[in-house]
Amino acid sequence: MFTRRNLLGSAAAIAMILVAAVPALADPDAALAKLQETVLSKGPSGEDPSPASSVTLTDEELAKIKAMDATAAIVMHYGGNDWSRAQINGLQTQFAAMGIKVIAVTDAGFKPEKQVADLETVMVQKPDIIVSIPTDPTATATAYKAAADAGAKLVFMDNVPTGFKAGVDYVSAVSADNYGNGVAAAHLMAKALGGEGEIGVVFHAADFFVTKQRYEAFKATIASDYPDIEIVAQQGIGGPDFSGDAEKAASAILTSNPNVKGIWAVWDVPAEGVISAARNAGRDDLVITTIDLGENVAISMAQASFVKGLGAQRPFDAGVVEAKLAGYALLGKEAPAFVALPALPVTRDNLLEAWKTVYSTEATDNIKQSLDQ
């Protein structure tokens, strides 16, 4: 006879099976904390990351570098954001400490042909070092090869020209953990949404290594960790008007998908365009996460407005490391192929502390005042 005890036992067994069959939901806070202790990104050629702390110069090595009276040029892909300015600041600060004169700082406006022309112009001054981030790894490769052949030591930020090999064609590449920052932005989105809802994505439609890492990381994390969040729309932007392009992309997403609760943008300037689109659509409830701690998205976060969190790079520190690696090249010292700095998840709660970590300076008055409102 099937007794009540049998029934209770069977019910308990069935409940255990059902619980086991349901995947455990991710804990965003635990995942975000873990990101600051590790680096998820690989280098442009699949290299394992070396920590920034491994790049050091002794007092004796610094003295040798200072005696060389070396010169350097900083050839940027784009200079119109806080990230670029912080990179340049870190580089100039460390180069000054090493007695290396910066003879040029250029801004290609994200145009490969302009960057090729910048490289050619810079090489007239015969710099010993070029620190740069290629706008397009293929379109600029010949110009970088010509610079290397002429004797310039190349250190790259984030992106590496097509066909280039570390230790042969260039010294090293330095990057934030862009994959990790994409993961951080996904966890922050999930946390703000309570783990469910439809979202959109505004990505960088270009052959750009680090922005592809962010995009893939965000999508993969949502898919693997948050089954109740669905990416229902994706729009690519090519620039150079990244804010304007993102505003149009986000407007299209919001029009076609009125149930969208959040939009991820690939970095802070596109996120500004998403903010404009949300305002124009009357979507004050829209959740935005992104990557890079620019002032405008920081103000939005401080005001408890659209931006609920982001994954930050550490551009000042990256610039310092890049300058030290240039010193390695001058000394003939073997350098790691790929150096990465861990992701930094940022919310309103740690905004002021994070700003100081990212930029080595206090947050702006605009950010502080926005927090006090």
Question: Cβ-count burial of 157 within 10 angstroms (0-12 exposed, 13-18 middle, 19+ buried)?
Answer: buried
- CATH number for 29-38+178-312+346-372: choose from 3.40.50.300, 2.60.40.4070, 1.25.40.10, 3.40.50.2300: 3.40.50.2300
pLDDT class of 232 with cuts at 50, 70, 90: very high
On the question of pLDDT at 11 being above 50, the answer is: no
pLDDT tens column, 13-60: 444 433 333 344 578 899 898 888 889 999 988 999 999 999 999 999
Maximum pairwise Cα distance, the chain:
96
| pLDDT over 90, % of the chain | 84
Question: Cβ-count burial of 137 within 10 angstroms (0-12 exposed, 13-18 middle, 19+ buried)?
Answer: buried
Q: Helical H runs in the chain? A: 4-21, 28-35, 59-66, 82-97, 112-123, 141-149, 178-193, 209-225, 242-256, 268-280, 295-302, 315-331, 351-359, 365-372
3-state helix, strand and coil shares in percent for the chain, rounded to the nearest 5? 50, 20, 30
Domain definitions of the chain by residue range: 29-38+178-312+346-372, 50-177+315-342
Q: Are 318 and 176 in contact (CB under 8 A)?
A: yes
pLDDT tens column, 127-172: 999 999 999 999 999 999 999 999 999 999 988 999 999 999 999 9
- Determine the pLDDT at residue 17: 38
Return d(Cα 190, Cα 339) in angstroms, integer.
Answer: 29
Q: Are 131 and 75 in contact (CB under 8 A)?
A: yes
Task: Give me the mean pLDDT over the 233-259 stretch.
Answer: 96
- Determine the pLDDT at residue 80: 74
Per mean pLDDT, which range of 35-39, 115-119, 339-343 is the poorest?
35-39
Task: Give me the mean pLDDT over the 299-315 stretch.
Answer: 96
- Determine the pLDDT at residue 83: 87
- Determine the pLDDT at residue 215: 98
| pLDDT over 70, % of the chain | 93
Q: Which residue's structure tokens are 């620190």? A: 131
Size of the chain in residues: 373
On the question of pLDDT at 3 being above 80, the answer is: no
- The one-character DSSP state at 269 is H
- Determine the pLDDT at residue 318: 96
Average of per-residue pLDDT values in the chain = 92
The two domains 29-38+178-312+346-372 and 50-177+315-342 share their CATH topology (first three levels equal) = yes
341 has which bridge partners?
Answer: 176
Superfamily of domain 50-177+315-342: Response regulator (3.40.50.2300)
Task: Extract the tokens encoding 126.
Answer: 């015969």
Q: Are 224 and 249 in contact (CB under 8 A)?
A: no
Task: Give me the mean pLDDT over the 297-324 stretch.
Answer: 97
Q: Are 101 and 160 in contact (CB under 8 A)?
A: no
Look at residues 166, 219, 196, 206 and name the one whose alpha carbon lies nearest to residue 334.
166
Return d(Cα 136, Cα 162) in angstroms, integer.
Answer: 9
Return d(Cα 176, Cα 41) in angstroms, integer.
Answer: 8
- Determine the pLDDT at residue 25: 53
Strand, helix or coil for residue 106: strand
